[in-house]
Structure 1
Amino acid sequence: RAGKRVAFLIDNPTLPDPTDCMERRVMKYWLVRALASGQETNCTVSLADHLKETADYLQMVQALKAAHPDMLVLDPTPLLCDEAHGICSISENGRFLYSYGDHVSDTAGTKIARRFIPELTADALR
């Protein structure tokens, strides 16, 4: 034991390949929405579906936390999903949150870092 506290970053929501959305964004936005019946189905996942698909994983994280109460658990989901509307999108305010596969973009990484670095820094000073 080195006297260190473990921080566990919960995996980000998995969305379809963002390159599908990037290609669609080249077209006029109104045309895309018309073709997709007003929804960008390839570019979003419902928060409920995300939580359902990750329920076993999140239970494992809770079990780890119960076994190691000092473990710091950081969840980026609220930063990457619109909880009020129950949707996780590939982009926010015209900027992509994912770069390829389920890897977050620099935009999302910066957003996550700004939220959690102060908490990690404060925790390190304890």
Structure 2
Amino acid sequence: MSARRCPCASAETFDACCGRYLGPDGAAPPTAEALMRSRYTAFVDHDVEHLLRTWHPSTRPASLDLDPQTRWRGLEIVDRVGGGPFDSDGTVEFRAHHRDGVQHERSRFVRENGRWSYLDGTVAG
């Protein structure tokens, strides 16, 4: 039996990649990209708790309703600016492929008290 590949397309197993960041006791992702990848995986797995927990309080919605019919098919990192282990902010541009098309977004992240959080995103060209 083989281990599950991580949905974020890192070529790692789920446990070695995003799995370590998910769940209430998950580790803090060290970079904005690692957080973005874990959030993509949370969308794939319908893990609303991780999505809300990693959303900056200033922009976080009160609740999140995911469409159970959405089938995510792959993640492609297009660009990243900042977002390293010692940065206070960063941007990750990605394409998230799903059965009905592609979500192309530039997401902004901030790091406060050693933890990255998703701030907001804009749809990219």
Q: TM-score range by the shorter chain?
A: under 0.3
Write 1 or 2 for the structure with the bigger share of helix: 1
- Which protein has greater RCO, CA pairs closer than 8 Å, 6+ apart? 1
More strand by share: 2
TM-score, normalised by the number of residues in structure 2: 0.22
